[in-house]
């Protein structure tokens, strides 16, 4: 079952289970669920790792022009716990942690090591995916798979002991 190849354009398939494992493969995240019936189900979601750069808006525009990376975009994100409003940040897509680290060094050097703040550079891909999707290992979830990918709904709580 894949997030990008659902059987019909308008059809959504749903499956519930516990998250057993997940790992990146090519431009996707592979997620294994174990259903209540004991079946192991492999899901594939098209997903790309990214990191974020915060700074003055004009500096971010200049940086985006300098990087020349397809898929960069501006997003609104909270960058500090005490923020009342989100800030505009530059989203930089990457293919691997190694590429993220290489580009992060380039960004920091471009900003003379003081102009930019970087987020999500050295976080493992599987962790980033779970953060973005609001899921966690061994959590009981519902996966709705359609032509747009996998949409996760958590049916569990971190405080649950069963």
pLDDT given at position 5: 43
Q: Global pTM?
A: 0.80
Residue with tokens 């004991």: 38
The Cα–Cα gap between 61 and 41 comes to 43
Q: Which two tokens stand for residue 130?
A: 């779970």
Question: Which stretches of the chain score pLDDT less than 50?
Answer: 2-8
Distance of alpha carbon 65 from alpha carbon 81, whole angstroms: 29
Of 131, 133, 135, the closest CA to residue 119 belongs to 131
CB-CB contact of 42 with 23 (8 Å): no
Q: What pLDDT is attached to residue 1?
A: 55
71 vs 63, 90, 150, CA distance in Å?
14, 10, 21
Contact 52, 94 (CB under 8 A): no
Structure confidence at residue 9 (pLDDT): 57
């Amino acid at each position: 079952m894949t997030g990008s190849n659902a059987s019909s354009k308008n059809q959504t398939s749903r499956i519930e289970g516990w998250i057993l494992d997940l790992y990146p493969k090519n431009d996707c995240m592979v997620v294994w669920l174990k259903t209540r019936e004991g079946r192991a189900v492999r899901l594939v979601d098209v997903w790309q790792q990214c990191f974020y750069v915060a700074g003055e808006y004009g500096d971010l525009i200049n940086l985006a022009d300098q990087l020349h990376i397809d898929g960069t975009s501006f997003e609104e994100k909270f960058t500090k716990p005490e923020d009342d409003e989100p800030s505009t940040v530059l989203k930089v897509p990457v293919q691997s942690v190694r590429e993220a680290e290489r580009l992060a060094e380039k960004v920091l050097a471009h900003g003379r090591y003081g102009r930019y703040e970087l987020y999500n550079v050295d976080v493992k891909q599987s962790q980033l995916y779970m953060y973005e999707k609001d899921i966690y290992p061994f959590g009981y979830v519902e996966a709705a798979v359609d032509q747009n990918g996998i949409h996760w709904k958590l049916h569990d709580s971190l405080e649950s002991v069963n």
